[in-house]
Amino acid sequence: MNVLIADDDAVSRLVLAAALTSLGYNVLETENGRAALSAWEQGECHLIISDCMMPDLDGLEFCRRIRAEKRANYTYLILLTSLSGKTNYLEAMKAGADDFITKPFEKDQLAARVRVGERILALHEDLRIANIDLERRVRERTIQLEKALDAKGEFLSRASHQLRTPMNHILGFAQLLERASITREQETNVQSILQSGRRLLQLIDRILEVSVSRSSDLDFLETKTGSARLATIP
């Protein structure tokens, strides 16, 4: 794992780099915040140990600059503070710092802080990969749903057209019977056939409209209660 050091004190950098190297980390040293920011922008260092008090660009502003950049991979920031002048921890956390190490530090303390940062970075990476996988599955499900809706629409459209043909034949024969010499009872039955057939045709037309319409175009299905269903055909 790569660790970026930002410290204007050459001795502190040397001690810190030696300790991190002995712990198995690859170390990149920079002597001020501006150089560290440039190295971070160009490299793959996601764990940074920065001195709080540096000329030109101090540790707090360095943290703010990093947090202002929106990156997929998280950067874990540890600030170095001195016993004689501890930084305001709350202010540092608002600036974006994740943890603190006090100067002069002990190797075990440094190892513990860095290991915690490494675990948190691993969790962030796992979460990032999980989110990517979730987005992929949502896209796949959306495509499947769209295909299913298209298939349903095509089925309804074909079914509606197939139903219209025999229904028109029924209505046509009923109209022929209406013109023929028939009894009153037969005329009543013919009128019932015509009335029911026309209602069925209206229902088929509604189904056909649904099959070719988008969800935003289905206002004609809205009832007064706001429920989306086929309106009752008189």
Measured CA distances, 11 to 3, 8, 33, 74 (Å):
17, 9, 17, 29
Contact call for residues 20 and 27 (beta carbons, < 8 A): yes
The ranges assigned to domains in the chain are 2-105, 143-221
What is the percent of the chain with per-residue pLDDT over 90, rounded to a whole number?
39
SS (H, E, C) 204-221: HHHHHHHHHCCHHHCHHH
Region 134-146: what's the mean pLDDT? 91
Q: Where do the H-state alpha helices sit in 69-183?
A: 89-95, 107-179
Residues 6+ apart with CB under 8 A from 41: 69
pLDDT in tens, 24-52: 999 999 998 999 999 999 877 899 999 98
What is the percent of the chain with per-residue pLDDT over 70, rounded to a whole number?
87
Confidence of residue 117 (pLDDT cuts 50, 70, 90): very high
> Does the pLDDT value for residue 103 go beyond 70?
yes
The pLDDT of residue 213 is 62
Residue 102: which H helix or E strand, with range?
A: strand 99-103
In angstroms, the CA 3 to CA 25 distance is 7
pLDDT in tens, 160-214: 777 777 777 788 878 888 787 888 888 888 888 888 888 888 887 777 776 666 5
Tokens read off for 143: 């495509």
The pLDDT of residue 73 is 87
> Does the pLDDT value for residue 82 go beyond 80?
no
Of the listed ranges 55-69, 120-134, 199-213, the one predicted with least confidence: 199-213
| Dihedral over alpha carbons 169, 174, 177, 178 (to 10 degrees) | -140
Q: Round the average pLDDT of the chain to a whole number and report it.
A: 82
The pLDDT of residue 215 is 52
Superfamily of domain 2-105: Response regulator (3.40.50.2300)
The pLDDT of residue 81 is 84
pTM, two decimal places: 0.63
> Greatest CA span in the chain, whole angstroms?
117
Tokens read off for 211: 């099959």
> Does the pLDDT value for residue 226 go beyond 50?
no
The number of residues making up the chain comes to 234
Contact call for residues 200 and 167 (beta carbons, < 8 A): yes
| 79 beta partners | 50, 100
Topology, domain 143-221: Helix Hairpins (1.10.287)
In angstroms, the CA 182 to CA 57 distance is 103
